């Protein structure tokens, strides 16, 4: 099973709303990632969790707050977003190894629109 699931598929929120994106994988991967992707651009790394600990935060504004409740789940809490935060938010997972077997698999993404 190489599936990463994400909910919701689409999200429209106002700038004062609080919402959460959810991601789940059952591949036994111990690294999980959040990416932001704008149209015609490559995925832009936001956060990396390794063994449920935050290992990378790519200077992401505090209105984005990640959480890794266990080895299978990853959340992204959103608060006071701006219209420019509208994008496709991608979750991915892999093994945290630098050699082979570190293939990264993506979920289907959440299309976020901030009004």
Partner 1 sequence: QKEVEQNSGPLSVPEGAIASLNCTYSDRVSQSFFWYRQYSGKSPELIMSIYSNGDKEDGRFTAQLNKASQYVSLLIRDSQPSDSATYLCAVTGGSYIPTFGRGTSLIVHP
Residues that bind partner 1 (CB under 8 A): 31, 33, 41-43, 45, 48, 56, 88, 90, 94-100, 102-109, 111
State the nearest-atom distance from the C-beta of 80 to partner 1, in Å.
26
State the nearest-atom distance from the C-beta of 53 to partner 1, in Å.
14
H or E segment and range at residue 97: none
State the nearest-atom distance from the C-beta of 5 to partner 1, in Å.
11
State the nearest-atom distance from the C-beta of 110 to partner 1, in Å.
10
Of residues 72 and 106, the one with the C-beta less far from partner 1: 106
Kindly tell me the burial class for residue 90, based on how many C-beta atoms sit within 10 Å of its own C-beta (0-12, 13-18, 19 or more): buried
Of residues 48 and 114, the one with the C-beta less far from partner 1: 48
Of residues 31 and 112, the one with the C-beta less far from partner 1: 31
Residues 6+ positions from 8 with CB-CB distance below 8 Å: 21, 110
Of residues 2 and 14, the one with the C-beta less far from partner 1: 2
Residues 6+ positions from 36 with CB-CB distance below 8 Å: 43, 44, 46, 85, 87, 88, 89, 90
CA 115 – CA 107 distance, rounded (Å): 24
């Amino acid at each position: 099973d190489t599936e990463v699931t994400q909910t919701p598929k689409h999200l429209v929120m106002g700038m004062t709303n609080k919402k959460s994106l959810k991601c789940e994988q059952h591949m036994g991967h111990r690294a999980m990632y959040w990416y932001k992707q704008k149209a015609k651009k490559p995925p832009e790394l936001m956060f990396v969790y390794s063994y449920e600990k935050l290992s990378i935060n790519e200077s992401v504004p505090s209105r984005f707050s990640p959480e890794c409740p266990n080895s299978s789940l990853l959340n992204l809490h959103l608060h006071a977003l701006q219209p420019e935060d509208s994008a496709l938010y991608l979750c991915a997972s892999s093994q945290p190894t630098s050699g082979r077997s570190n293939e990264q698999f993506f979920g289907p993404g959440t299309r976020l629109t901030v009004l």
